[in-house]
């Protein structure tokens, strides 16, 4: 199978822009909601530019780059396409990959449930948004 590098570039650009805008909004919302109550102050990292770039890089690799690359290789054999295909793929990845790990952490560490739910919701929205973008661009 041949990967269209031009289409892959558009997916990476659009997904990256989506992640940056959503992260700015989500981090601002976190400042106004009491999601970090219950954490000791020395465990909460201060949000600097380096912190934002580190988080963006990890999220870009796992939520945009790898899904776009895999979708680019296999979109001709995937039975669904477009935005609906992106939503289905995001739900599958979230339910099978992220949710069990987050629940396991809740049982092993004393982390407030509000914080875990806030983070899970953020990851879910980022995953759905980036996969909708990827699915839509590959359906054009």
pLDDT > 70? residue 2: no
Q: Among 31, 41, 133, which Cα is nearest to 87's?
A: 133
State pTM to two decimals. Answer: 0.82
Q: Distance between CA atoms of 10 and 7, rounded to whole angstroms?
A: 5
What pLDDT, in 10s, does the model give residues 67-92? 888 877 777 666 667 777 778 878 88
Helices (H), the chain: 5-32, 49-60, 66-74, 82-93, 99-108, 113-139
Position 6 scores a pLDDT of: 87
Q: Distance between CA atoms of 18 and 101, rounded to whole angstroms?
A: 25
Q: How far apart are the first and last CA of the chain?
A: 18
* Predicted confidence band of residue 58 (pLDDT cuts 50, 70, 90): very high
Name the 3-class secondary structure at 115.
Answer: helix
């Amino acid at each position: 199978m041949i990967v269209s590098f031009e289409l892959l570039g558009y997916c990476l650009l659009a997904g990256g822009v989506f992640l940056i805008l959503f992260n700015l909004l989500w981090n601002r919302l976190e400042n106004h909601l009491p999601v970090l109550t219950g954490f000791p102050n020395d465990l909460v990292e201060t949000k600097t530019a380096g912190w934002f770039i580190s988080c963006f890089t990890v999220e870009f690799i796992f939520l945009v780059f790898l899904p776009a690359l895999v979708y680019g290789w296999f979109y001709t054999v995937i039975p669904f396409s477009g935005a609906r295909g992106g939503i289905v793929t995001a739900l599958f990845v979230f339910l099978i990959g992220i949710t069990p790990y987050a629940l396991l952490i809740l049982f092993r560490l004393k982390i407030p449930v509000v914080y875990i739910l806030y983070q899970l919701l953020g990851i879910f929205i980022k995953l759905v948004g980036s996969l909708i973008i990827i699915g839509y661009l590959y359906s054009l």
